[in-house]
């Protein structure tokens, strides 16, 4: 089943959701700000995305700038920061089986559905 990690307040996330709706395929919406992700779940998503944890961070978020910017963090510390502050997670993330993509731009979602 396709999953979208979604934040309705984000225009790119809403566009990603629209792409999935138009595809006609079944999918599950995960509202990760309400149902926060554990460090373990984040590590699994990062592995599917084939990126470094820092590449999943929204570096313009105030939380990042105030608490983490300019610091040398390990991968585990970056993952823990996202688990503690889910607003830091880039979105939308779409997972289809063993494939995953960050929908920026949202059209990248088409590559895995």
Q: Which domain holds residue 47?
A: 2-111
Total domains present in the chain: 1
Question: What mean pLDDT comes out for the span 21-48?
Answer: 97
Say whether 15 is catalytic. no
Q: What is the spatial distance between Cα 27 and Cα 2, in angstroms, rounded to a whole number? A: 5
Q: What pLDDT sits at residue 87?
A: 96
**Catalytic position from the list 2, 10, 33, 54:** 10
Neighbours of 58 (CB within 10 A): 15
Question: By C-alpha distance, which of 4, 38, 100 is closest to 112?
Answer: 100
pLDDT digits (tens, 9 = 90+) for 66-112: 999 999 999 999 999 999 999 999 999 999 999 999 999 999 999 99
Structure tokens at 59: 């570096």
CATH number of domain containing 33: 3.40.30.10
Q: What pLDDT sits at residue 12?
A: 96
Cβ-contact 12, 102 below 8 angstroms: no
Give the SS3 label for residue 71: coil
């Amino acid at each position: 089943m396709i999953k979208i990690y979604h934040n309705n307040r984000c225009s790119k996330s809403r566009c990603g959701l629209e792409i999935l709706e138009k595809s006609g395929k079944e999918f599950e919406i995960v509202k990760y700000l309400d149902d926060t992700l554990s460090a373990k779940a984040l590590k699994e998503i990062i592995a599917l995305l084939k990126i470094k944890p820092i590449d999943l961070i929204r570096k313009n978020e105030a939380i990042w700038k105030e608490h983490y910017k300019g610091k040398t963090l390990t991968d585990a510390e970056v993952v823990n920061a996202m688990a503690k502050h889910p607003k830091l997670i880039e979105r939308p993330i779409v997972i289809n089986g063993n494939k995953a993509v960050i929908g920026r731009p949202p059209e990248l979602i088409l590559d895995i559905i």
